[in-house]
Amino acid sequence: MSRVLVVEDDEAMAVALRDGFAYEGYEVTVARDGEAGLALAREQPPDLMILDVMLPRMNGLEVCKLLRGEGSELPVIMLTARGQEIDKVLGLKLGADDYVTKPFSFMELMARVEAVLRRVRPGGRTQQAAQRFGDVTVDLARHEASKGGVPLELSPREFRLLGYLLERRGEVVSREELLDAVWGYDSIPFTRTVDTHVAKLRKKIEDDPADPRYIITVHRLGYKLVQ
């Protein structure tokens, strides 16, 4: 049974998350402020932490920063309020594995949790932190990517899109599946949005975006990351 630590000060949200994870078969511990969450993460490290950004006594960004500074490889998914784009970016730079924007569906959060847990291994953070295709290197743990040794400036959404395609490398992934995993159906209901972001991503990682080698369009089905 996987163990989840939920650090959330809103009582209704904390109860909903506790009950949702328990229903899915997880062992759940809840902390109501940042200091308590940090103490539990240190003393009884769970398999994954759900960490709100806005917390009393110590905010989630500081909790994440302290854990990573201590060498903790605990997977962290941060919860941010709509419009807190700077918090999302800071959280990922500080070492968070993913983030979800409130309000969100529990199914969306579970998809993120399962994706993160697929990447972890007993005693370590990721099965393969740095992955390569062509001259592109992607470090999922550090939230960094480069092409030919030159750092790539990817938005959080572009990085999540690339990360999901990497997880499914060689498989055809439908636009609907990408919407569910990267955006969440509740927030962006248009498959055209996927095409737009793929086009932007290709401009940054492909030698010739008009004739892509890595992110291939599979007609009427979706996209596939190859090599």
pLDDT at res. 224? 94
pLDDT reading at 127 higher than 70: no
pLDDT reading at 209 higher than 90: yes
Do 3-119 and 130-225 fold alike per CATH? no
pLDDT reading at 124 higher than 50: no
3-state secondary structure of 174: coil
pTM, two decimal places: 0.59
pLDDT in tens, 185-205: 445 556 688 899 999 999 999
| Own/partner long-range contacts of 30-37 (Cβ < 8 Å, ≥24 apart) | 30/5, 30/6, 31/5, 31/6, 31/7, 32/7, 32/8, 32/56, 33/7, 33/9, 33/57, 33/58, 34/7, 34/58, 34/59, 34/60, 34/62, 34/63, 36/7, 37/5, 37/7, 37/63
Q: What is the CATH number of domain 130-225?
A: 1.10.10.10
The dihedral of CA 208, 193, 182, 94: what is its sign?
positive
CATH topology of domain 3-119: Rossmann fold (3.40.50)
Q: Where are the domains of the chain?
A: 3-119, 130-225
pLDDT band at residue 82 under the 50/70/90 scheme: low
